[in-house]
Structure 1
Amino acid sequence: SQGAIAEVQYLQQKNRLQELQSEIAQTEATLREVQAESIKSKQQIQRELADLERQLVETNKSQEYESLRAPVKGYVFDLIVASPGYAASSGETLLKIVPEGMLEASVFVTNADVGFLRPKMPAQVRVDAYPFTQYGDIPGELKRVGKQSLEPDQQNPEPRFPAQVVLKRQYLEKRGKLFPVSAGQSVSVNFIVRDKPVISLLTDSVEKAFDALRGIKTDQP
């Protein structure tokens, strides 16, 4: 009888072992399925992420084509008014900008007048290319006067002192439209003494620390 009991226990343990082995096999199979599904999901997510990144790049490029970034700070003028969806041609000028950087006028002061001038003295700058009666003048300020006079020459028979006048803005305005002042233009300068312009000088040119005028164009192909 003991031998029969032992055989029954053996068979029970053997069956239990087989059940456990079957459970382990099922668990391993399930684990492999989960891992495979996880890998598949990861690959799908990576593909979607790559698609989103490509879409983002395309969107950024599209925004670059739809917007203009000025190379300098300044005032816009000569803007071409276009309807939504307007496609600019390569090299087409869409607008122009007068930079914020200050223009300076180089003037020459006679020996008789130099004694009246002081730094920061207000001035009125008139651009010869634009009639004063129509375009007005540009407010300015005396920056400095040279300490040594220049010798007379063919164009200037009298000794003169060089001076620099800073323009408070870089454009004239007429009926709401801006007219930029460019480097090299001749101007007339009136210095204001005791609230009255008593010294009128003719400059050789207008100088500038930065570019006087820039046009924004579409990129060349």
Structure 2
Amino acid sequence: MSAGFSRSIHAIATDGHRGSIAGVAIGALLLAGWLAWFFLARVGRYESSVSARLEVGQAAHRVEAPLGGRVAAVHLELGAEVAAGDVLIELDVEPIRRDIDERRARLEAIARQMGPLRDEIAARARALRAGAEAARAHVDEAKARLREAEAGARFQELEAERAVRLRKDGLVSEAEAARLAAEAQSRRSASEALERAAARIGVERRTSQSEQQAELARLDREAASLEGERLVLEAAIQGLLAEIERRRIRSPIAGRVGDIALLRVGSFVSEGDVVAAVVPPGELRAIAEFPPSSIGRIRPGQEGRVRLDAFPWTEYGTLSATVERVATEAKEGRIRVELGVRPDPASPIPMQHGLPGSVVIEVERVSPATLVLRAAGQIVQVGGGAGG
């Protein structure tokens, strides 16, 4: 009985000794593993942004109203694709159109006047040329008759002078001499009458031509006045059409409508009001703002993740990004960092300009021992500062 009890006690002691050795061995292995992890493992250290948003490489173009007016039509739809020159908003132009209609009606009236007036000017010009030619012919005829009468009168005067000489010699009777003298006087009177008639014809011709030319000049002035009025009206219409065009607010570039103002037909806009923003096509990038303490830690080439507020990362995941540019100075207490975004075709997240979110950048990979030592150093520094 006592021998069996002794063996039992010895067995229990032996098993306990073996268990303690196994426990020490396991503890040593765990400690060695932990120390290896503590000194050799690498864990990421991250910087988180204060704010971030997705933007295209080029800045969005703001569309401003060039002048104020009442909205007549709205062709805006958020997210719609537009081409450069597409009409986005039309302002009321009815008063301008009425003015254009009135001026065009006056142009039509001028056109109706100008046709007959030009015909009359052409007819009077032809009549003036024909009258001038007829008057010249009439004058030439009168001059010819005058020359003929002058020759006859001169001949008759010579005959009368010869009859006077013959009368003195008694070769011609007194009655014959008197007859020849009377006929010479008659021929001279007729020649003088023809001369006066020719002069009168010349005066009448010049007077008639002057009157016709004056009337033709008056018609030309009237036509010139109507033509000048026509040009003024056409220039005014072109100016009014330009005003209508100014009241068509067009997209300055091709792209996508990223923002629109709350506008309805009948509402009013003022000059310079921003009515929309058009985002040009291009690669998206993330624009993030970090606290000033990030200077020197964030560098180009570092990897990061973009989390969008509207798409929880636990459900939709994140977007991969790479730091491209880092500001060297803080502005309004923030450091601007630009990251290139690598979209995942399989991701359900829509890649749209303006989506807000946050960015996390892995700035370094260090061992846990380094992190503990840094934390201890900060604690000592804070403690030393408090003690001083």
CA distance in 2, matches of 1:135, 1:33: 92
Indicate if the aligned counterparts of 1:135 and 1:174 stay in contact, CA closer than 8 A: no
Percent of aligned positions that are identical: 12
Distance change (3 Å), C-alpha of 1:103 and 1:75:
farther
Q: Aligned partners of 1:79 and 1:145: how far apart in 2?
A: 31
Q: Equivalents in 2 of 1:34, 1:21: separation in Å?
A: 20
Structure 1 position 44 matched with structure 2 position 221? no
Between structures 1 and 2, the one with greater strand share? 1
Separation of aligned partners in 2, 1:38 and 1:135: 84
Question: What is aligned with 2:268?
Answer: 90
Q: Spell out, residue by residue over 1:116-174, the C-alpha distance to the aligned partner (whole angstroms, 9 max, x if none).
A: x6436675543445534559648564213649xxxxxxxxxxxxxx85422569xxx97
The one-letter code sitting in structure 2 at the alignment partner of 1:97 is A
Q: CA deviation at 1:76?
A: 1.2
| Partner in structure 1 of residue 354 of structure 2 | 180
Residue 165 (structure 1) aligns with: 337
Q: What TM-score do you get using the length of structure 1 for normalisation?
A: 0.52
Larger radius of gyration: 2
Output the aligned Cα RMSD: 4.8
Aligned to 1:212: none
Task: Determine if contact 1:144/1:164 at 8 Å carries over to the other structure.
Answer: yes
Report the Cα offset of residue 70 of structure 1.
Answer: 5.3
**Among candidates 224, 236, 240, match of residue 58 of structure 1:** 240
**Residue 131 of structure 1 pairs with residue 312 of structure 2:** yes
Matched-pair contact (CA < 8 Å) for 1:142–1:164: no
Q: Which residue matches 1:77?
A: 258
Unpaired runs of at least 5, structure 1 = 81-85, 148-161, 194-221
Q: Show the 5 A alignment for 1:13-32.
A: 13-32=195-214
- Give the total of aligned pairs: 165
Q: Deviations over 1:41-97 (max 9, x none)?
A: 1111122222223322332222233x21458886413569xxxxx945224999631
Cα 1:127–1:20, aligned 2, differ >3 Å: closer, same or farther? Answer: same
Q: Which residue of 1 aligns with 2:36?
A: none
Residue type matched to 2:268 in 1?
A: S
CA contact (8 A) 2:305 2:360 kept: yes
Query: Unpaired runs of 5+ in structure 2?
Result: 1-155, 158-184, 342-346, 365-388
Matched residue, 2:175 = none
Change (3 A) 1:145 1:44: closer
CA distance in 1, matches of 2:350, 2:286: 21
CA-to-partner distance for each residue in 1:155-197, whole Å, 9 max, x for gaps?
Answer: xxxxxxx85422569xxx978784524xxx662144699xxxx
- Matched position secondary structure for 2:195: helix
Q: Does the residue aligned with 2:215 lie in a helix, a strand or coil?
A: helix
Matched residues in 1 for 2:352 and 2:211: separation?
79
Provide closer, same or farther for how the CA distance between residues 75 and 165 of structure 1 changes in structure 2, counting only shifts above 3 A: farther
Larger RCO of the pair (alpha carbons < 8 Å, separation 6+): 2
Task: Give CA-to-partner distance per residue, 1:12-34, whole Å, 9 cap, x none.
Answer: 22111111111111111111111
Contact residue 75 and residue 99 of structure 1 kept, 8 A: yes
Counterpart CA distance in 2 for 1:75 and 1:7 is: 104
Which residue of structure 1 lines up, in the alignment, with residue 164 of structure 2?
A: none
CA contact (8 A) 1:134 1:174 kept: yes
**SS in structure 1 of the partner of residue 217 of structure 2:** helix
1:6 aligns with 2:6: no
2:351 & 2:260 partners in 1: Cα distance? 11
